[in-house]
Amino acid sequence: MDAKTAILEQKTALGIEFGSTRIKAVLIGADNAPIASGDHEWENRYDNGVWTYTLEDIWTGLQDAYTKMAADVKEKYDITLTRVGAIGFSAMMHGYMAFDKAGNLLVPFRTWRNNITEEASEKLTDLFGFHIPQRWTIAHLYQAILNGEPHVADIDYVTTLAGYIQWKMTGERVVGVGEASGIFPIDSETNTYFADMIAKFDEAVADKAYSWKALDVLPHVLNAGDNAGVLTKEGAALLDMSGNLEAGIPLCPPEGDAGTGMAATNSVRVRTGNVSAGTSVFAMIVLEKNLSKVYPEIDMVTTPSGHPVAMVHCQN
């Protein structure tokens, strides 16, 4: 099938990735080969001791990348893009985006680059018997609690960048299991958060008397292939400034950059692995089973289908 037919028959998928330095929008055809693309360069800023991107940075960057991709379709195939077969988002993992019931961002987005959660990381690692890196979402949440930050009492939803975009596109508070594994430890037997660790976390913060429990505010975990919602009218208007893109397009669970790296290098099966050298440098090996004990040098994440993965990660 040629590219023009694929676009007209919606035999396409649009993938959008939020990297640390570029946002990429790539449209692929029925044979999985790229047929159009657009990108937007961006960079985080250091503001009041926190590495962050503003909400304006996020949305203007996404819209610019999409607009360039749609213009590429128009230029190459003389088609005004109104629908695609499916959409998938991925983004740099970890970090902390906390929202209140009205959907307001409570504190500036704290990205994975921040090393400001050492106390929380150490205490949670001891509590769970599971290594919790500083960049993980739960470490950021617990550090905010330890710091006595007043915004924590108002939290209604805590998520990652990919989870935030998915929520705004579909209204669904979901993430893929690989992305979730950088939020909170994942039990590969159930492909969701470890139930005993959730209980331990809730018990550890019970004296604060917050109105929420961990599962109330963390995103729901989905596997690769699960239905993760459809593009709403509001989501389509946020994504495509021209207004041409129609609602109703299905979305897959949003994933993290580790998961997209595994998929791109065909390293999702047990006993396969890959190395990434980008804004951070890391190696990942898909394991047959979970590690027998905690190794502080090894971060445990998962594939997009929930298999345990050992990662060694360094900031670059």
pLDDT reported for residue 277: 85
Domains of the chain with bracketed CATH: 3-315 (3.30.420.40)
- Angle (CA) 279-285-287 rounded to 5° is 145
pLDDT of residue 72: 98
Q: Measured between alpha carbons, how far is residue 106 from residues 13, 137, 218 in Å?
A: 33, 15, 15
pLDDT tens across 171-224, in order? 999 999 999 999 999 999 999 999 999 999 999 999 999 999 999 999 999 999
* CB contact at 8 A, 38 and 67: yes
Rounded to whole angstroms, the Cα distance separating 119 from 110 reads: 16
* C-alpha of 278 from chain center: 17
Q: How many CA atoms lie within 13 A of 222 on its CB side?
A: 20
| Torsion over CA: 112, 116, 118, 123 (sign) | negative
Alpha-carbon gap, residue 47 to 43, rounded angstroms? 13
**The predicted structure's pLDDT at residue 203:** 98
Tokens representing 243 are 């207004």
- HEC secondary structure over 66-127: HHHHHHHHHHHHCCCCCCCCEEEEEECCCCEEEECCCCCECCCCECCCCCCCHHHHHHHHHH
Residues of the chain with pLDDT under 50: none
Q: Residue 27's beta-bridge partner residues?
A: 14, 36
26 touches 33 (CB < 8 A): no
Of how many residues is the chain composed? Answer: 316
pLDDT at residue 34 in the model: 97
How high is the pLDDT of residue 130? 95
Q: What is the pLDDT of residue 101?
A: 98
Closest to 217 measured CA to CA, from 147, 284, 276, 163:
163
What is the rounded distance in angstroms from the CA atom of residue 211 to the CA atom of residue 228? 27
- C-alpha distances in angstroms, 36 versus 83, 244, 266? 14, 17, 22
